[in-house]
Amino acid sequence: MSEASAPHAADRRELTAAQRNAVAELLRVSPVADELGRRFVRAGHELHLVGGSVRDALLGRLGDDLDFCTDAHPDETLRILKGWAESIWETGREFGTIGAQRDGLQLEITTFRAESYDQVSRNPVVVYGTSLDEDLKRRDFTINAMAVSLPEHRFTDPHGGLDDLSAKVIRTPSTPGESFGDDPLRMLRAARFAAQLRFAVHPDVHTAMTEMAADLDRITAERIRDEFTKLLCGADPITGLRLLVDTGLAERFLPELTGLKLEIDEHAQHKDVYEHTLTVVENAVSYEEEGCDFILRMAALLHDAGKPATKAVGSDGRVSFHHHEVVGARLTKARMKAMRYPKDVTAKVTALVALHLRFYGYGRGEWTDSAVRRYVADAGDLLPRLHKLTRSDCTTRNRRKAAQLAADYDALEERIARIEAEEDLARVRPDLDGNAIMELLGVPPGPVVGRAWKHLKEQRLEHGPLDRDAAEVELLRWARAEGLID
């Protein structure tokens, strides 16, 4: 191990504490884990708690999902589980994995693997291994290459994962080049673990990520999407995002992020858009009430994606980005489609990007009640997220300006609440429904009803609720103007 990653004496004392964490965590799950281990031993096989389960046990955060490896093949594993597990599933069978549930714990038991990778797709090609050491060597990082044998609780750590866990460093069991050559997605996983665990990548790993970034092009969009989503939802997404940009990985699947690093000269006056964006993401995380709100975080990340394409320098040296929210929304939609995000998630993120600048006209005192209604109607169920995104976007260091923006938004939220108390802003609908429109105008279902409905909705947004009589008068006035009735 290099001097940079070798633990100091104080760290070695922490290793004992880490081992104590693991013992405490294992005691919690040992009734099930040890019983399962004894069943495998009686059948003439090995069973080891492995990978992320051991890592998380050492960190004192073992959950209810446990990963095991064994020399037993799937058919043999099924025979051992039947009659003992409360439920069994075989969805991962083609990868040698059998799932089971017992006493509230989700168990995944995978046959030792010595896997290779398809040279085109880089998807794993499963080849069963014959030993624990072989299985651990093929794993992505040393912190995931530790095992606890069951039921005797023997600890196996052939690649120094415990030391790396103490040093909070991400390192590969084999050379980074060999590991990433097997599966380039591991480069993105390194950034993901940095974000999730607040760990640093080893310098050799960083170098390999930079030199091999183009290999990520061989990975399917779906696998990249899943890893990136976990990264953005990490405890420290900023560290992961910086790694993606610094190593060139972002350029391979999210070039809009790298593109935010606009050139700034002594004459062009604008804030660093890249650093501003990272701050907005950090602010958005602070506004989350429970767990990761991926839609909010993704909107924060891409809210200024349209700035590079709309940058213009005026005669006074000031930089403008007119309509960057429109361009940004279009880029966001295209990028998320390319990354294979679900349509509903893409639509929500895109809408937030398109709306994120709307508030900035409010502070000039020009908004009428109808403008507030339209703001709420256009945001729909995204309004709570839009509130958070808009507040997150205030990153000015000018305290007076920041305080004014916060006060303006407080005022807008108070005004929304006031109008909401008077009207049902959550469901802005015309004061007459389709049936009433058809009855009053004497028309069948068709385009005329849709046009009338749209007109009445515009009236509702502009003037607020109308009573039945006033709504009917307005509909008839519109119909006459359209030549639909005499």
* Span 399-426, pLDDT tens digits: 888 888 888 888 888 888 887 776 655 4
Nearest CA to 297 among 362, 248, 231, 232? 232
**C-alpha count within 13 angstroms, C-beta hemisphere, residue 276:** 17
Strands 65-70 and 105-111: parallel
pLDDT given at position 12: 42
Lowest mean pLDDT among 68-77, 339-348, 416-425, 433-442: 416-425
96: left (phi over 0), alpha (psi -120 to 50) or beta: left
Lowest mean pLDDT of 76-90, 162-176, 182-196, 362-376, name the range: 362-376
Give me the percent of the chain exceeding a pLDDT of 70: 85
pLDDT of residue 118: 57
Instruction: Identify which of 145, 146, 219 has the alpha carbon closest to the alpha carbon of residue 181.
Output: 219
Cα separation, 348 vs 402, whole angstroms:
27
Check residue 363 and give its pLDDT: 63
Asked whether the predicted pLDDT for residue 5 surpasses 50, the reply is no
Q: What pLDDT is recorded for position 264? A: 56
Amino acid identity for residue 227 in this structure: E
Q: What is the CA radius of gyration of the chain?
A: 29
- Amino acid 29: pLDDT: 78
Read off the pTM: 0.81
Bridging pattern class, strands 97-102 and 87-89: antiparallel
Within 13 Å and on the Cβ side, how many CA atoms surround 90? 11
pLDDT value for 292: 96
372 pLDDT band (50/70/90 cuts)? confident
Summarize the confidence of residues 255-274 as an average pLDDT.
73
Percent of the chain with pLDDT over 90: 56
Instruction: Read off the pLDDT of each residue in 227-241 and give the average, rounded to a whole number.
Output: 97
pLDDT reported for residue 9 = 38
Say what the pLDDT of residue 87 is: 96
pLDDT of residue 123: 57
What whole-number distance in Å separates Cα of residue 385 and Cα of residue 299?
9
- Per-residue model confidence as pLDDT tens digits over 37-91: 999 999 999 999 999 999 998 888 888 999 999 999 999 999 999 999 999 999 9
DSSP 202: P
CA neighbours within 13 Å on the CB side: how many for 43?
21
**pLDDT in the model for residue 267:** 43
Contacts of 135 (CB under 8 A, 6+ apart): 50, 69, 112, 113, 114, 129
The per-residue pLDDT for 481 is 78
Q: Residue 370 CA to chain centroid, in angstroms?
A: 35
pLDDT at res. 10: 40
Q: Give the DSSP H/E element, type plus range, for residue 313.
A: strand 312-313
**Beta strand residue intervals within 316-430, DSSP E:** 319-320
Most confident segment among 26-35, 144-153, 294-303, 313-322: 294-303
- Predicted confidence at residue 266, as pLDDT, reads 44
pLDDT of residue 22: 67
Longest dimension (CA), the chain: 94
Which amino acid, residue 268? A
What pLDDT is attached to residue 184? 95
Q: What is the pLDDT of residue 319?
A: 79
> Where do the H-state alpha helices sit in 185-323?
185-197, 203-211, 221-232, 237-247, 250-253, 255-258, 273-287, 294-302, 307-310
Query: Considering only CA atoms, which of 410, 308, 305 is closest in space to residue 352?
Result: 305
Cβ atoms of residues 252 and 299 within 8 Å:
no
Nearest to 169 by CA among 137, 148, 197, 146: 197
What is the distance between the alpha carbons of residues 434 and 440, in angstroms, rounded to a whole number? 10
Q: Are 80 and 39 in contact (CB under 8 A)?
A: yes
Tell whether the model's pLDDT for residue 485 goes beyond 90. no
What is the predicted pLDDT for the residue at 34? 92
* Closest of 342, 246, 345, 262 to residue 298, by C-alpha: 345
